[in-house]
Structure 1
Amino acid sequence: MATTSSAIPLTGVPFPRSEYERRQRNVLAAMASAALDALVVTAHGHLRYLSGYDGSGGYFAPFPLIMVPGRSPTFVVRQYDEQAVRSYSCIEEVVAYTHQQDFGKMCADVLRRYGLQSKRIGFELGCWNLAVADVNALQAQLPGLKIVDATRLVSSVAAVKGELELECMRDAMRMTDLAVRTFQSSLREGVTEGEMAATMGAAIGEHASNAGGEVGLSGGGTILFGERTKLPHAPPSRHPISANEPAFLEIGASKHGYSVGMVRCAVVGRHPEAESLHTLAEEVIEALVDVVKPGISAAAVDAAGREVLKRSGRKGVFRQRTGYQTGINWTERGDLSLEPESNDILQVGMTLHMPNILCSENGYLFGTGAHVLVAERGAEVLSEIPNTLFRA
């Protein structure tokens, strides 16, 4: 049952309550358009977006945030994590369960109390942190429940950033730029990937400490040298870079969960194969930035980059999507994606990461990218670091 909370130092939410209420209103409006009687939010990034709490305790079982028109949101959480939820969220109505097998019954009790046992309820079926077993457990309690896939509902609202969110992303990009400049100034023959990661982390840590500790690197990033640039998403190792080898960096800083990404590459000496890839990637990025504007479809943006690749006669070097929506938890499934046949329409206030990472015949992954804000007149590039190849 719900209980009251006490003040605990260094807790709270990073934004004013009015900001969360604005987000919740926008989600409720989207629910109305989808003819939903309620929405059960379980994706951790979406929980953080709507409440402030990052959902970290939800590895145990879902921590659903139940949104119903005309009611304040209700959080259903594990009893062990209840105080953390209360301390790090703006949600006042918190209901607790104890064991994993209690999730379905407790969630069903809340829906039944609100008269929703046979209504149309949206679930984030395609997002992380909700398993088929969780949905089945709830359906067993409420056989008349009409389950609707609402995977993309919250992400479509969160795709358009407010001013406070954009401030976070700009701050995070300044830290990302610092990381890239540190990478470039520290790159030399013999330095290892792990040493580079430590040097970049120290630079960010020192700055974050001076700024109150609000900004940090989002994960370890991808730092790869030489033959290891053939490994997508590999962690930094003890491998050193040698003369005439490529270096690959994909990294992003984060503030209050708002992450920005950046791809920048370099060579120590010369590496014709990687340099040729980079030249092509720069052309693609320039075409993408030129075409991004409000009202264009995600598929049309993707097509603009692929057209450059097609004209080059090397379209086979690109083996992924063109880009994706960023903000809180940019790895969430269901977010806007720049790829063929995507009919999402870009709007003012959206932020997009477009990493143009190309693959050579010998398997080297190399390229550059852009992180942009969709503004009234087109794309605003958030980074101050040129997308050109750095030579050490």
Structure 2
Amino acid sequence: MKKPLPFDQAEFAARLAAVKKEMSNREIDFLLLSEPPNQNYLTGYDSLSFYTPQMVIVALSHDEPLWIARFMERSQAMMGTYLADENIRTYPDEYVNSHTGLSAYDVVADIVKELGGETARIGVEMGGYYYSARAHADLVRALPLATFVDADLLVNWIRIVKSPAELVCMRQAGRIADAMIKRGVDMMEPGVRECDIAAAVYYQQIAGTPEFGGSYDSSCLFFGAGERALAPHPTWTDERLPASTTVYMEVHGVRLRYQVNLARTIVVGKPSPAYQKFSEIAVEALNAGLDSVRPGRTCSEVQAAYAQSLARHGYKKEARLGYPQGIGYPPASAERTASLRKGDNTVLQPGMCFHMMAALWLEDKSICITQPFTVTESGYEPLTSTPRALIVK
């Protein structure tokens, strides 16, 4: 069976070794991974099957991870992971939405016991989007002699520094994001429906570029026109664009599950001199933040450079300035680790990727001009090439 893996075996081996090293540091014998990005990171598995219980087990005593999911997903795991057949496990369909007390986590527990983990120290992702209170209760019940510890973000903190192969995907995702912005702006004219613009952007998201295709994102296209541009996470309507309006659009370029976010504000018509100046202040602050990026600096120091520039013009951004990105699955693309915000003393390292979300949503106006980037040996590399400026159509 053909295995179209996005990375070679050495890449996956290095990731697994780093995870096992951290497990050893924390004295964790078994790591149960419920988060789709972390499952993908360690096995290559990619399928929208995580609406039913799905788990990857990493055991210090076992060479490969074990993948466990619903029986019908086995073929995708066979094609889309490097795992040996015996490390691809499934449970019957009657465990899905069971009303008779069956729990897929009993199957997970049985496999842990099979590997000698009945009395082990087991790490679980307590803060994960896909690890429910019921899942934890069922595992604790099924493994009463084990010790459960919170290992949330263990893999995420390893993922935050991208390998050269991963950075190739991030750059390609950035090129798709650029194409999406261009497609949306090209569509914007008075009288065009918002939904038709959104459809064109989604077409570009999936079509990608002539060299490589794209995929679905971790959330949805954000699109707000007029007053709705004051909101940070609006979606499109079927209203037609008026002769003069402001549009906020955030797109998500995705390549092999690696996601790059990019946002721009577009004026249809002619911006007022005051609003044009407002946009220039926002870009000045964004560039100040970017120019402060270099290895050894902290996230807090980058935020401070941005905030100082903004403060000179009497403005302040309440929300964090940015978040790390990489593998993205619903419901969010942020890696839940470092943030570009005051007080976050995470030290920047080459290979880290962030979305600098230098957006200002005020009561009477908003501006959203952002920049995804990766930290380099001497500064930063933009992951997109769309000019950092207000777009006037």
Give TM-score scaled by structure 2 length.
0.89
- Select the residue among 88, 96, 100 that pairs with 2:90: 96
- Unaligned runs of 5+ residues in structure 1 are 1-6
C-alpha offsets along residues 5-36 of structure 1, whole Å, 9 cap, x if unaligned?
xx27xx63222222222211121122222222
Give the 3-state SS of the residue equivalent to 2:109 in structure 1: helix
- Unaligned runs of 5+ residues in structure 2 are 97-101
1:122-201 equivalences under 5 Å are: 122-201=123-202
**More deviation, 348-357/219-228:** 219-228
1:11-22 equivalences under 5 Å are: 12-22=4-14
Q: Which residue of 1 aligns with 2:72?
A: 80
1:326 is aligned to 2:318: no
CA contact (8 A) 1:75 1:95 kept: yes
| 1:262 positional shift | 0.7
CA contact (8 A) 1:291 1:301 kept: yes
Aligned residues: 378
Measure the CA separation in 2 of the matches of 1:58 and 1:202: 25
Measure the CA separation in 1 of the matches of 2:47 and 2:160: 19
| 1:131 positional shift | 0.5
Give the 3-state SS of the residue equivalent to 1:122 in structure 2: strand
Give the 3-state SS of the residue equivalent to 1:117 in structure 2: coil
Give the 3-state SS of the residue equivalent to 1:121 in structure 2: strand
C-alpha offsets along residues 151-204 of structure 1, whole Å, 9 cap, x if unaligned?
111111111111111111111111211222223333322222212222333445
CA contact (8 A) 2:43 2:65 kept: no
C-alpha offsets along residues 342-372 of structure 1, whole Å, 9 cap, x if unaligned?
232211111110111112332x432211111
1:65 is aligned to 2:65: no
Q: Which residue of 2 aligns with 1:107?
A: 108
Q: Which residue of 2 aligns with 1:338?
A: 340
Letter in 1 for 2:233: H
- Select the residue among 350, 353, 356 that pairs with 1:354: 356
Q: Which residue of 2 aligns with 1:3?
A: none
Letter in 1 for 2:353: T
Give the 3-state SS of the residue equivalent to 1:303 in structure 2: helix
Q: 1:367 to 1:204 in 2, by over 3 A?
A: closer
Measure the CA separation in 1 of the matches of 2:206 and 2:336: 32
Q: 1:314 to 1:174 in 2, by over 3 A?
A: same
- Identity, % of aligned pairs? 26
Q: Which residue of 1 aligns with 2:248?
A: 248
Q: Which residue of 2 aligns with 1:304?
A: 305
Give the 3-state SS of the residue equivalent to 2:374 in structure 1: strand
Letter in 2 for 1:33: N
Measure the CA separation in 1 of the matches of 2:384 and 2:335: 25
Letter in 2 for 1:178: A
Q: Which residue of 2 aligns with 1:32?
A: 24
Letter in 1 for 2:311: K
CA contact (8 A) 1:299 1:340 kept: yes
Letter in 1 for 2:91: Y
Q: 1:360 to 1:276 in 2, by over 3 A?
A: farther
Q: 1:282 to 1:217 in 2, by over 3 A?
A: farther
Letter in 1 for 2:265: C
Give the 3-state SS of the residue equivalent to 1:337 in structure 2: coil
Give the 3-state SS of the residue equivalent to 1:388 in structure 2: coil
CA contact (8 A) 1:259 1:326 kept: yes
Q: 1:145 to 1:303 in 2, by over 3 A?
A: farther
C-alpha offsets along residues 83-123 of structure 1, whole Å, 9 cap, x if unaligned?
22222222220222221433232222222222322232211
Measure the CA separation in 2 of the matches of 1:264 and 1:341: 27
C-alpha offsets along residues 223-247 of structure 1, whole Å, 9 cap, x if unaligned?
2221221233222221222233211
Q: 1:228 to 1:18 in 2, by over 3 A?
A: same
Give TM-score scaled by structure 1 length.
0.89
